[in-house]
Amino acid sequence: MNSTNQVDDRIRKVFDAMTQEVKSGKTYFPLHADASLSSYYEKPQHEAYAYFSFIDTKDREHLLTSFNELWKANQELKPVASAMCDLAFDLREIQGEQSTDLSPFVYTLY
Amino acid sequence: MSSDKYILGISAFYHDAAAAIIKNGEIIAAAQEERFTRVKHDPRFPVNAINYCLEEAFIEADDLEAVVFYDHPLLTWDRIVKNCAMIGEESYPTFNSALKSVLGIKLWVEEYTTKAIGTLGKTGKIIFAGHHMSHAASSFYPSPFEEAAILSLDGVGEWSTTTLGYGKGSDIKVLKEINYPHSLGLLYSAFTYYCGFKVNSGEYKLMGLAPYGKPTYVKEIYDHLIDVKADGSFRLNTDYFGYLKGDKTTNAKFHELFKGEPRKPESKITRKEMDLAASIQVVTEEIMIKIARHIRELTGSKNLCLSGGVALNCVANGKLEAQKIFDNIWIQPAAGDAGGALGAAFVALHLYFKESRAPRTGNKDSQHGTYLGPAFSEAEIGAFLDRHEYPYTKFESDADQHTLLAKELDSGKILGFFSGRMEFGPRSLGGRSIIGDARKTDMQSKMNLKIKYRESFRPFAPAVLAEDVSAYFKLDTESPYMLLVAPVKENLRTNVNSEEQLKENNDDMLGVINQARSTIPAVTHVDFSARIQTVHLDTNKRFYELLTAFKALTGSGVLVNTSFNVRGEPIVCTPKDAYQCFMRTEIDILVLENFVLFKPLQPKIDNDENWKQQYELD
């Protein structure tokens, strides 16, 4: 069984590896206005997931396949996918009760 | 073996967890988990709501064709990872929490479902519907339209914040979108936070505050915070927002722009907050109208379906309606994430199973007035009251009951009104409502101080007989879900100048709010607007007949309608919840279907002094 500290250490390692892989200055989305554009609408960016899809969580390998599919255009993220899968399976085992707390930022990230 | 196709939709883990069940495309039941657990906005996996839905459908879990979740957790994770990778070290605390939350909980929907009901349906696996597709489906499929433009606007779902689509028959296509971090919902939430209200629930207060202010900050917003193209598409200047780092919604640069730190919650509201509220409201309305014009042109449709949390901005909806860009607008009453459960079920039926949608006939939607939650029979209510020996009067004749209640309302009494199925969505619509006489000048302060236990700058909403709506309000369409705001007609208004009154009161709103601005003062806001609910015989007979009786007695077909709860409490679900709320407040009379309970006759509840601490203020 992993302790909370061990989990935090592993998350830290994943984060460090992820930020190493993603070269400094890489942008995944625009942060500001662009006067050269006539419109900010985009074509649907994630059509494979936009309507309905599945996630196979039967075992670690199947979940990894889902991650790799998700990041097939993001080679830089693939190296951390495996560790994320491990964490997902381990966290599933050690997660306690769901909290009733609502983050004030639930809209954004959680 | 039955060929009926039952599909269960679930939304959970963010806010307002909910479940919904459809049978061959007909909505059987839908409810938010908070109503059962009594925890406001409860985000936990909705075990109680799911079980209720199965009971209402009279099926076993094994009968389910499919279970559908309203969001794709891995796509949400993709956004979080990329966001944090871009931001770097500052985002680590967010990354840590989000990983535990998304990969530790949200990913395991199948496990939660199996634990709750022992099955994943006949498909044997959870179907994950897209977040905005769930919103879009929740507004299009129950709508009265054969085809429609579909607009979904919220904070963010997976990556998308704004989705433009088109629905026809059984099909929906996504046409265009705007993605995170550029979000009208997040922009509005940033102002909600800055003005001292809670994100995700205080947006309503900000909207209600807006009419007190002047839109003096509109230029600053356009100059610094958001760039809007002619087609309504937009980008935020993320330099002014804190949410990319997961720290705060706003940041120091935002505070510098508006010359000060965010208002402390519960502190005095000043002219600045009023003007900020007015300004962001104007910007929101202008953008929504531009997007609406664009999607009208894009799809050629005369019908619009709206959903997503931003679609709960009924003031903006009212402005959109008044523009007449579309001939018809239908808004999902559970427009926020709870409604995603319903939409997800429809996505599975029509897009995964490719089942046909029944042709639309007439102008009625299939939302059943959004009375989709639990109802309680006469026997159940009678047994509850008898068990506790609560004194009541039981009416055999509805007409006699309504005549009595109309008289009580006319004399200024306030009713807790519990009738039929509980509403699905954030508004009380006469299923679980507190009602009073809209003509009484003291009704608003009485309801606020003695029942809701709040001093609010927000007026209450009017419930009006559908056929009378144009007699009281400048509105020529139905508003059964309280999602449109329109002005009270000029001939009903008094000569009050709220702006001058505000000045005289040194911008103290509470000195202004209780002034009579019309012949229905309890429901008339400072700008003479009202958040209207039209009441219909076919969806809520008891409430309709009560309004009719009240009109016959008084000549007025308008009642105040506010949610049956106190501040911070979820709307009541059961007779027990209703009785408790009745006894803890100064509600005069409790109506539980055909049972009527009078406060002076009820036994005192012992050891209940600390109940207010049970609910966190919203």
Among the residue ranges B356-365, B385-394, B423-432, the one predicted with the least confidence is: B356-365
From chain A, pick out residues whose CB is under 8 angstroms from the CB of B156: 107-108
- Indicate whether this model's pTM tops 0.80: yes
B191 shares its domain with B139: no
- Domain membership of residue B521 (yes or no) is yes
B256 shares its domain with B319: yes
- Domain membership of residue A41 (yes or no) is no
Question: What pLDDT, on the 0 to 100 scale, is given for residue B596?
Answer: 98
Question: What pLDDT, on the 0 to 100 scale, is given for residue A105?
Answer: 46
What is the token pair recorded at B399?
């007409």
Q: Among B300, B329, B358, which residue terminates a domain? A: B329
- Tell me if residue A25 falls in helix, strand or coil: coil
Count of domains for chain B:
3
- Domain membership of residue B245 (yes or no) is yes
Bridging pattern class, strands B226-228 and B234-236: antiparallel
B359 shares its domain with B486: no
- The 10s digit of each residue's pLDDT in B83-97 is 999 999 999 999 998
What CATH number did the domain enclosing B348 receive? Answer: 3.30.420.40
Contact between A57 and B247 (Cβ < 8 Å)? no
B188 shares its domain with B280: yes
Question: What pLDDT, on the 0 to 100 scale, is given for residue B1?
Answer: 52
Q: Which of B34, B307, B291 shows the shortest CA–CA distance to B157?
A: B307
Q: Which of B16, B39, B47, B86 to mutate to test the interface with A (most CBs of A within 10 A)?
A: B86
- The 10s digit of each residue's pLDDT in B198-254 is 888 889 999 999 999 999 999 999 999 999 999 999 999 999 999 998 768 999 999
- Domain membership of residue A110 (yes or no) is no
- Domain membership of residue B220 (yes or no) is yes
B47 shares its domain with B94: yes
Instruction: Name the percent of chain A lying above pLDDT 70.
Output: 84
Q: Which of A6, A55, A80 to mutate to test the interface with B (most CBs of B within 10 A)?
A: A55
pLDDT at A1 over 70: no
- The 10s digit of each residue's pLDDT in B421-437 is 999 999 999 999 999 99
Count of domains for chain A:
1
pLDDT at B396 over 50: yes
Residues 6 or more apart whose CB falls under 8 angstroms from that of B55 comprise none
pLDDT at A104 over 50: no
Interface membership of A58 toward B (CB under 8 Å): no
One-character DSSP codes across B516-535:
--BSSGGG--TTSEEEEEEE
Identify each DSSP E strand in B382-492 by its residue range. Answer: 393-394, 415-418, 432-437, 461-465, 484-487
Q: Which of B598, B604, B595, B603 shows the shortest CA–CA distance to B389?
A: B603
Interface membership of A83 toward B (CB under 8 Å): no
Complex prediction ipTM:
0.93
What is the mean predicted confidence (pLDDT) over A92-106? 63
- The 10s digit of each residue's pLDDT in B469-516 is 999 999 999 999 999 999 999 999 998 887 888 888 888 887 787 788
| Structural domain span for residue A69 | 1-21+55-95
Q: Which of B579, B583, B540, B580 shows the shortest CA–CA distance to B559?
A: B540
Question: What pLDDT, on the 0 to 100 scale, is given for residue B455?
Answer: 67
Residue B453 banded pLDDT, cuts 50, 70, 90: confident
Residue A53 banded pLDDT, cuts 50, 70, 90: very high
- Domain membership of residue A42 (yes or no) is no
B346 shares its domain with B436: no
- Domain membership of residue A101 (yes or no) is no
- CB A50 to CB B130 under 8 A? yes
| Structural domain span for residue B87 | 6-143+337-369
Residues 6 or more apart whose CB falls under 8 angstroms from that of A55 comprise A63, A66, B72, B73, B74, B107, B126, B128
| CA B179/CA B2 separation, integer angstroms | 43
B483 shares its domain with B389: yes
What CATH number did the domain enclosing B421 receive? Answer: 3.90.870.20
Q: Which of B234, B372, B215, B338 shows the shortest CA–CA distance to B294?
A: B234
Task: Quickly count: other Cβ atoms within 10 Å of residue A93's Cβ.
Answer: 9
- Domain membership of residue A65 (yes or no) is yes
Question: What pLDDT, on the 0 to 100 scale, is given for residue A99?
Answer: 67
**Who has greater pLDDT, B606 or B256?**
B256
Question: What pLDDT, on the 0 to 100 scale, is given for residue B279?
Answer: 98
- Domain membership of residue B152 (yes or no) is no
B392 shares its domain with B477: yes
Residues 6 or more apart whose CB falls under 8 angstroms from that of B177 comprise A41, A42, A43, A44, A45, B132, B160, B161, B162, B163, B164
- Domain membership of residue B460 (yes or no) is yes
- Domain membership of residue B354 (yes or no) is yes
pLDDT at A107 over 50: no
- Domain membership of residue A9 (yes or no) is yes
Question: What pLDDT, on the 0 to 100 scale, is given for residue A25?
Answer: 81
What is the token pair recorded at B341?
């459960």
B497 shares its domain with B396: yes
| CA B456/CA B448 separation, integer angstroms | 7
What is the token pair recorded at B229?
């193209």
What is the mean predicted confidence (pLDDT) over B544-559? 98
Residues 9-38 of A with CB under 8 A from B: 11-12, 14-15, 18-19, 21-22, 24, 26-34, 37-38
Question: What pLDDT, on the 0 to 100 scale, is given for residue B2?
Answer: 67
pLDDT at B538 over 90: yes
From chain A, pick out residues whose CB is under 8 angstroms from the CB of B229: 37-40
Cα–Cα distances (Å) from B493 to B91, B280, B468, B482, B529, in that order, read 53, 27, 17, 21, 11
| CA B104/CA A8 separation, integer angstroms | 13
- The 10s digit of each residue's pLDDT in B294-347 is 999 999 999 999 999 999 999 999 999 999 999 999 999 999 999 999 999 999
Q: Which of B105, B83, B81, B245 shows the shortest CA–CA distance to A15?
A: B81
- Domain membership of residue A82 (yes or no) is yes
- The 10s digit of each residue's pLDDT in B399-411 is 999 999 999 999 9
pLDDT at A17 over 90: yes
- Domain membership of residue B479 (yes or no) is yes
What is the mean predicted confidence (pLDDT) over B362-373? 95
- Domain membership of residue B275 (yes or no) is yes
DSSP type of residue B16: S
B438 shares its domain with B579: yes
pLDDT at B528 over 90: yes
B365 shares its domain with B441: no
B416 shares its domain with B564: yes
